[in-house]
Amino acid sequence: MKRVLLVVLFLGVASSAVAQPQTFEFFQTGFAEGAMVTGSFTGEDLDSNGQLSAFDSEITDFQMAFSGNSIVAGFTLGFADLQGLVYDLDGGPLGDGLTLDVEGIGAGGNDGFSYAAGPGPVAECGIGVDCAVVSDGTNEDVSQEFVQIGAPAATPVPVPGWAYLMMVLLLAAVGLRSLR
């Protein structure tokens, strides 16, 4: 009976490592003169619904850059500028509509520069038509391309230091028990 309890304790400690936030890179082409958006965001699916949502405080970092063209000058936006971000963890492009709710990104700075991507952020995009708009507050450039999201690199989940201590103590207890 004691051995069963020790095995259960060992398995509980070994499986107690918590998943860490993942960083996703994204890009979008199709703007005038070959301009493009690049960026990244970091998030963790805290409610385990298969979706990252800034509205559920699951996004912890965001940055994007527009390369610029003759319509809208280049600009960057950071986490403080993020107004909303929803991404399904299905591995597809943002806005593919394969699972869950509507996906999209919305960010804007006090200087008038903004970026919106997803279904219907402006009149040029209707229901079911995905697009993105970059703006400097007076001029806009629209892309009908999907936002391509790169899968995060596989990162090892760190094991808490106390887990190693518990495993050593458990092995010592099993060893002492077997000597009896």
Buried b (16+ CB within 10 A) or exposed e, 95-133: beeeeeeebbbbbbeeeebbbbbbbbbeeebeeeebbbb
**Token output for 5:** 């309890």
Tens digit of each residue's pLDDT (9 = 90 or more) over 26-52: 999 999 999 999 999 999 999 988 889
pLDDT at 6 over 50: no
Q: Could you tell me what percent of the chain has a pLDDT over 70?
A: 66
Q: Are 134 and 66 in contact (CB under 8 A)?
A: yes
133 vs 123, higher pLDDT: 133
pLDDT at 158 over 60: no
Residues 6 or more apart in contact with residue 118 via CB below 8 angstroms = 94, 95, 102, 103, 104, 105, 106, 130, 132
Q: How far apart are CA 68 and CA 33, in angstroms?
A: 9
160 vs 90, higher pLDDT: 90
* Predicted structure pTM score: 0.70
15 pLDDT band, cuts 50/70/90, is very low
Task: Tell me the average pLDDT of the chain.
Answer: 78
